[in-house]
Chains A and B, each alone.
Chain A
Amino acid sequence: MTTTMAQALNAALRDALKDDDRVLVFGEDVGALGGVFRVTDGITADFGESRCFDTPLAESGIVGFAVGMAMGGFRPVVEMQFDAFAYPAFEQITSHVAKLRNRTRGALSLPMVIRIPYAGGIGGVEHHCDSSEAYYTHTPGLRVVTPGTAQDAYDLLRDAIESPDPVVFLEPKARYWSGEEVSFARKSPPMDKAVVRRHGKDVTLIAYGPMVATALETAEAAKDEGWDVEVVDLRSLSPFDDETVTASVRRTGRAVVVHEAAGFGGYGAEVVARVTEQCFHQLHAPVLRVTGLDIPYPAPKLERHTLPDVDRILDTVARLQWNDTPVVAGA
């Protein structure tokens, strides 16, 4: 039976609640409504309001309250509803969630998960489509993960809830309704490992979250151009799995990083730097990026112009010095 990513996340929450009394789910609208994306659908009805409950509408409050509850022995899983709505909680996340273990020299840990539906492609109005991963990956003390498949949605969320460290869990909302066969027997590798989603020998596409499916589509289309494309799904943005990524790039000798967030100062720059440092002698061309434009996320009718798509990725692959043609500098 096909399970969508939203259903897989729901199943992960239910199984975590079943397995561990300390796990609690809370946030705005997660109770009777089941979350605006229905990720918490039916959980309050089945587990009771003491395990899954609505809070006042205040993101900093939700995260700060969760900090206290984690200090008190619980394992909160909180929902931020939309990416840009998490910004009021930014101080709690960066100053406290990320740092409490370090500040207390290991005396207090914060095993908590902050779920944030992120990125665009759903025709959402402004403040509903940000890709905010760079803010969190730039914060030591946080783990940042994002599933690209429904199977990973289940496995990564289970792992995140079991992690002794705080995890920012980014859910690619454009993929909530994409489905596949999902096994609930924890099939994926550990949370901090990247996976090769498709093997190829000419070029590595490095993607995560919503762009994994786009990268796979690109790989299929690339066959017509004669390119055999490998796709690496990072899964864990922090920590970064150098091993899997560099092994792939050393095999193919070419790499393109794809993400939806604005490129300038973005997460892709970190990936390019790491890959270049570690694979310089195996590279046939500079590592390139395909990213969102350096603009505030646009109005829905224009969002297709910022979202990386198959054509733009193929055009970038074409610039990888296949015939000793120099790479044209990016904008």
Chain B
Amino acid sequence: MSVKTLLPSATPVRFLAEDGSRVELHEGYAEPAEDRLKAAYRLMVLGRRFDVQATALTKQGRLAVYPSSAGQEACQVAAALTLSEQDWLFPTYRDSVALIARGLQPGEVLTLLRGDAHCGYDPAETRVAPQCTPLATQTLHAAGLAHAMQRRGEDAVALALIGDGATSEGDFHEALNFAAVFKAPAVFFVQNNRYAISVPFEKQSAAEALAYKGIGYGMRAEQVDGNDAVAVLAVLDDAVRHAREGKGPVLVEAHTYRIDAHTNADDATRYREAGEVEKWREADPLRRLETYLKGRNALSENEIELCHAEAEEFAQTVRDTLNAEPELDPLSLFDHVYAEPTRQLAAQRAALEAELEA
């Protein structure tokens, strides 16, 4: 592959200006069909409401912690929409909205964060890996699984989500290198939301764009306006197609912004100016897509209302789910440590059982 074909576009790929008008900065990417944009809109409304609800539930002590992805809905929803059923998604702790968009239930998604179990769904069945909290480690799993699927002749892709901070980790680089060398059908999707907890992007990397890192691995890369749902969908669609056709992995960087703090436990006013947050609020991905679709007469007021009504209903489901405390079986602690249980764990299980009965 020539260097030229690996290079990302000079500026982030963009279809919509901040005011929702159509612009021509998309370097030959095809605009996704209208029904997909409407599906994205619906899920973004749902996702935002989910995010607000989950944040509120941390204040009531229903969730131990919640890392908000408010402002990143275009990325979250596109990551889910671009994948087929047989593809694998490798999310991080911040990507709950992507899982909702992938069709998982709030109870399944929030199991980790409410503290019931490390993963609330069956990854083998849903083809969603457990939400990963160590940084970038899952990118290697995505590369390995993508390679495994390719070997088995499955027509499937693995898409790993990571943040800007995770691109500094060794595993990110090892994953890109492995995926490129093995030509694995993997897509690495970096949501550069400008902050790794409190550390700004300028202190994270000297690179002008993280997408430039692809070329060093011999990997195609692209950068995209992460608050432009049309562009993110177009670029991810293309990346997934490229990987699926056996042409090798792709690195995609979305330039976006985390509107809220790292989690409910952190105070973002200590490390960033209110003016900066306001500026990014004006780049809101949801309003941008809504304005665009309305302008095209593709979205009526009635449809918008319906989306919001559905989101309200969904929020009620989230509340109901979180307010019901499922009973947890202490003896299940021993169930899945080993496939073949050890004598030591059998003895500890018996001891705990006796303790519980006493």
Residues of A in contact with B (beta carbons under 8 Å apart)? 50, 55-56, 58, 60-61, 63-74, 88, 91-92, 95-96, 99-109, 140-141, 143, 163-165, 192, 239-240, 242-243
Contacts and interface: CB of A to CB of B under 8 A. Distances in A.
A204 B234 CA distance: 70
Nearest to B158: A68
A157 B29 CA distance: 52
17 contacts: A55-B181, A56-B178, A58-B170, A58-B174, A61-B171, A65-B178, A68-B145, A68-B148, A69-B148, A71-B148, A72-B152, A73-B148, A102-B336, A106-B336, A107-B123, A165-B338, A242-B343
Contacts of A106: 335-336
- The residue in B142, B146, B171, B335 that gathers the most chain A C-beta atoms within 10 A of its C-beta is B171
B157 to A, nearest CB: 12
Given A72-B151, A101-B337, A101-B338, 19 more contacts: A56-B178, A60-B171, A64-B140, A64-B143, A64-B144, A64-B174, A65-B143, A65-B147, A68-B147, A72-B144, A73-B148, A73-B152, A92-B137, A96-B141, A101-B336, A104-B118, A104-B123, A104-B336, A105-B117
B147 to A, nearest CB: 6
A191 to B, nearest CB: 10
B344 interface: yes
A104 B338 CA distance: 12
B339 interface: yes
Contacts of B158: 68
Contact of B174 (A61, A141, A143): A61
A303 B3 CA distance: 51
A102 B334 CA distance: 9
- The residue in B124, B152, B170, B337 that gathers the most chain A C-beta atoms within 10 A of its C-beta is B337
Given A101-B339, A105-B117, A69 B147 contact: yes
A104 B181 contact: no
A107 B340 contact: no
Interface in B324-351: 332, 335-340, 342-344
A165 B342 CA distance: 11
Given A65-B144, A68-B141, A104-B130, A60 B338 contact: no
B335 A65 contact: no
- Top-8 shortest CB links A-B: A68-B144, A72-B148, A64-B140, A61-B174, A164-B339, A68-B145, A239-B342, A65-B144
B130 A64 contact: no
Given A101-B337, A165-B340, A108 B149 contact: no
> What interface size band does chain B fall in?
35 or more
Nearest to A74: B148
B125 interface: yes
A88 B170 contact: yes
B175 interface: yes
Interface of B: 117-119, 122-125, 129-130, 134, 137, 139-149, 151-152, 158, 170-171, 174-175, 177-178, 181, 332, 335-340, 342-344
Contacts of A192: 342
B176 to A, nearest CB: 10
A51 to B, nearest CB: 11
A72 B337 contact: no
B266 to A, nearest CB: 23
A72 B149 contact: yes
B147 A165 contact: no
A67 B340 contact: no
B175 to A, nearest CB: 7
Nearest to B148: A72
A141 B171 contact: no
Nearest to B171: A60
A106 B340 CA distance: 11
A58 B338 contact: no
Given A60-B140, A108-B123, A69 B339 contact: no
Given A101-B337, A106-B336, A141-B337, A95 B142 contact: no
Contact of B140 (A68, A99, A243): A68
A63 B144 CA distance: 9
Given A60-B170, A64-B171, A92 B343 contact: no
B344 A239 contact: yes
Nearest to A100: B130
A67 B140 contact: yes
Contacts of A92: 137, 140, 171
Contact of A69 (B139, B144, B337): B144
B336 A64 contact: no
A58 B148 CA distance: 19
